[in-house]
Amino acid sequence: MRERVWLNWAMHAGFYLLLAASAWRLVSRHGLVAQTVTSLVVCAVLALAYLAGMVTWSRLGRRGRLVWLGCVAALWLGLVVLAPSFSWCAVPLLFLCLRLLNARAFAVAAAALTLVVIAAQTKIAQEIDPSLILAPIGVAAITAVTFWELQRESAARQLLIDDLIAARETLAASRHRTGVLEERERLAREIHDTLAQGLTSMGILLQAADRAWATDPGLARAHVRRAAAAAAENLDEARRFVRDLRPPGLDNGGTLPEALTRLCADTGGGPPVRLRLEGEQYPLEPGVQTALLRVAQGALANVRDHAGAAGATVTLSYLDGEVTLDVFDDGAGFAEPAPAPGRGYGLRAMRDRLEEVGGVLIVESAPGEGTAVGARIPVRPYERAGA
């Protein structure tokens, strides 16, 4: 439990003020007679003993503090026997008992201190009246209840702080787990869109080279060279993947149309791809460009691997308020967007990428009528202004 430092120092100051006031009253009433001098000497010893405990408080430990409290209480009791006017120093001592003792021990100590104060006040009073008994009891009760309530509030506040700290740690751990899952999802998309597609392309080219090796060595070598070029590009993708940079087509200030032009020119053994640009070009955020390029890569990989198409068209449109990317092929198409078992991560990865930049993915297909994959991303005005 965290203690109220200001209250501790106030009680220490109050103890010394009560000592000084009682000593002044003793001297003014009785003069420097032998008993007064003896009382002042005991008062000085009590003040030094109390000061020693204050100075060494952090080094005493619980047992040492209890021993110190016992010594202070014994000196005070002896001082009260010599000069009953020092009895009101019991209030700060009651506070010390509350800090150091458990509830049962504190009740005993509070009762003992109160009885000593009552006895001292009746000794110096000219006549006995109920106030001499009720006043010490009332002061002790008020003091104890006040300090007890302060400690209870302090304990409750500390418990609340501990709960907040625990909640913050739990939230941090939850955010960490969420971040790990998001990063895993991002890495899965990156691997699918780069390494997996590149390896698939190389496999197709090498299989074609193997089939043509005996009948057309020139064509086989061309396929091998294209596979080597795909391997080099895939290596660049892997290095960028490790460095977490933008796609190579967008590095070094490259624009999205330029990257799409290179992507459409390198079909990787698939059908020819035509690129169309519509609308007046305006700057796009890097994340938007990356998402659209990845959608184009994924859609063209599906065309190459599954569509059986004779050709495909990629259309990039700069519209008022949004930018769109459409990939259409004249292949076999399908009745429902239900991928074959073990495949189909590509469409989900496209949707996830577009959602990250506020976009949507639209897929339209029918058996024998080809497939159209469309990406729509809203564009804010400052992006179009080049800010």
Question: How many structural domains is the chain composed of?
Answer: 2
Q: What's at 34, amino acid-wise?
A: A
- On whether residue 161 sits in a domain, the answer given is no
Report CA-CA distances (Å) from 334 to 339, 340, 341. Answer: 10, 11, 15
Query: What stretch of H or E contains 316?
Result: strand 312-318
Decide if 123 contacts 94 (C-beta within 8 A): no
CATH number at residue 264: 3.30.565.10
Question: Does residue 123 belong to any structural domain of this protein?
Answer: yes
3-class DSSP string for 131-172: HHHHHHHHHHHHHHHHHHHHHHHHHHHHHHHHHHHHHHHHHH
- 140 belongs to a structural domain: no
Query: What span, in angstroms and rounded, lies between the C-alpha atoms of 205 and 191?
Result: 20
Q: Does residue 304 belong to any structural domain of this protein? A: yes
Largest CA distance in the chain: 133
- Residue 4's pLDDT is what? 59
> Residue 54 sits in which domain range?
5-128
pLDDT for residue 387: 46
Q: Pick the last residue of a domain from 128, 147, 162.
A: 128
Q: Which of 84, 113, 128 is the last residue of a domain?
A: 128
pLDDT at residue 150 in the model: 65
Task: Give the residue from 79, 103, 128 where a domain finishes.
Answer: 128
The model's pTM is 0.42
CA–CA dist 64, 57 (Å, integer):
9
Domain membership of residue 322 (yes or no) is yes
Q: Is residue 60 part of a domain?
A: yes
| Within-domain flag for 228 | no
Is 248 within a domain? no
- φ/ψ region of 163 (left if φ > 0, alpha if ψ in -120 to 50, else beta) reads alpha
pLDDT in tens, the chain (387 residues): 444 577 778 888 888 888 888 888 888 887 888 888 888 898 899 889 888 888 888 888 888 888 988 898 899 888 888 888 888 788 888 888 877 887 788 778 888 888 888 887 777 666 666 766 776 677 767 766 776 676 677 778 778 888 888 888 788 777 767 766 776 776 676 666 666 777 777 788 788 878 888 888 888 788 888 878 777 777 777 766 655 545 555 655 568 898 888 888 877 667 888 999 998 888 888 888 888 988 888 888 888 877 788 889 999 999 988 999 999 988 888 775 544 444 455 778 888 888 888 899 998 888 888 889 999 999 875 444 444
